[in-house]
Chain A
Amino acid sequence: NAGVTQTPKFQVLKTGQSMTLQCAQDMNHEYMSWYRQDPGMGLRLIHYSVGAGITDQGEVPNGYNVSRSTTEDFPLRLLSAAPSQTSVYFCASSYPGSAGLDTEAFFGQGTRLTVV
Chain B
Amino acid sequence: KQEVTQIPAALSVPEGENLVLNCSFTDSAIYNLQWFRQDPGKGLTSLLLIQSSQREQTSGRLNASLDKSSGRSTLYIAASQPGDSATYLCAVKTNAGKSTFGDGTTLTVKP
Contacts and interface: CB of A to CB of B under 8 A. Distances in A.
B98 A107 contact: no
Interface residues of B, number: 23
Contacts of B98: 33, 45, 48, 58
A101 B51 contact: yes
Interface string A99-110: 011111111111
A31 B93 CA distance: 12
Given A42-B104, A101-B51, A31 B89 contact: no
B43 A104 contact: no
A90 B44 contact: yes
B93 A102 contact: yes
A78 to B, nearest CB: 20
Interface string A58-80: 10000000000000000000000
A101 B93 CA distance: 11
B93 to A, nearest CB: 6
Interface of B: 31-32, 34, 36, 42-46, 49, 51, 89, 91, 93, 96-104
Given A40-B103, A101-B51, A104-B46, 16 more contacts: A33-B99, A41-B103, A42-B103, A43-B91, A45-B100, A48-B97, A50-B96, A90-B43, A94-B97, A100-B31, A104-B34, A105-B99, A107-B45, A108-B43, A109-B42, A109-B43
20 contacts: A32-B97, A33-B98, A33-B99, A41-B103, A42-B89, A42-B102, A42-B103, A43-B89, A45-B98, A45-B99, A45-B100, A90-B44, A92-B44, A102-B32, A103-B49, A105-B91, A106-B46, A107-B44, A108-B43, A110-B42
